[in-house]
Structure 1
Amino acid sequence: MSLNHSSETHTKLIARIPHVTGRDIPEWFTTIENGPSFLRCDERTTWLAAEHGLSHGYAAAIVREHERVRRERHY
């Protein structure tokens, strides 16, 4: 399953995550960084969804946002 949502869908998902999950985006980033060392985004998404009871869509949005922020830190 693809991790790619449209930009609009991704923005909406990210905005709803704190309300839906009770956790802010930086908390989810910490969870990903402290989790298993998966090489692929889809593995991280599957783990995040299964381990934390998230829908695949929210898990994918969190992982995609984490990757985007991580790339920006390196530039």
Structure 2
Amino acid sequence: MPEGTVSGPASYFPSIERTYGRPVEEWLALVAARPADEKHAATVAWLKAEHGLGHGHANALVAYHRAQR
């Protein structure tokens, strides 16, 4: 993979910012504020229901956040 190429959940970030008009840092802060024991799928469902994110975008944010912990 070429140097500087982003892969995994972070590869969705430019699309998330374009589609929803908010920086990824804001979305990650919202995910971080969720209860620590909340299941991955529940956080994805919350992003979809409360903020209108598509499944792939919501899943990428939650997966990235959890990988950073």
Q: Does residue 34 of the first structure (1) align with residue 33 of the second (2)? A: yes
The 5-angstrom pairing of residues 1-75 of structure 1 reads: 8=7, 10-35=9-34, 37=35, 39-70=38-69
Determine the C-alpha separation between the residues in 2 that align with 1:33 and 1:11. Answer: 16
Unaligned runs of 5+ in 2: 1-5
How far the C-alpha of 1:25 sits from its partner, in A, is: 1.5
* Runs of 4+ residues deviating >2 angstroms: 7-12
How much identity, in percent, do the aligned residues show? 30
Q: TM-score, normalised by structure 2?
A: 0.73
CA RMSD of aligned residues (A): 2.0
Is the Cα–Cα contact under 8 Å of residues 48 and 54 in structure 2 kept in the other structure?
A: yes
Change (3 A) 1:30 1:10: closer
Q: TM-score, normalised by structure 1?
A: 0.68
Is the Cα–Cα contact under 8 Å of residues 48 and 58 in structure 2 kept in the other structure?
A: yes
Aligned length: 63
Unaligned runs of 5+ in 1: 1-6, 71-75
AA at the equivalent of 2:51 = H
How far the C-alpha of 1:45 sits from its partner, in A, is: 0.4
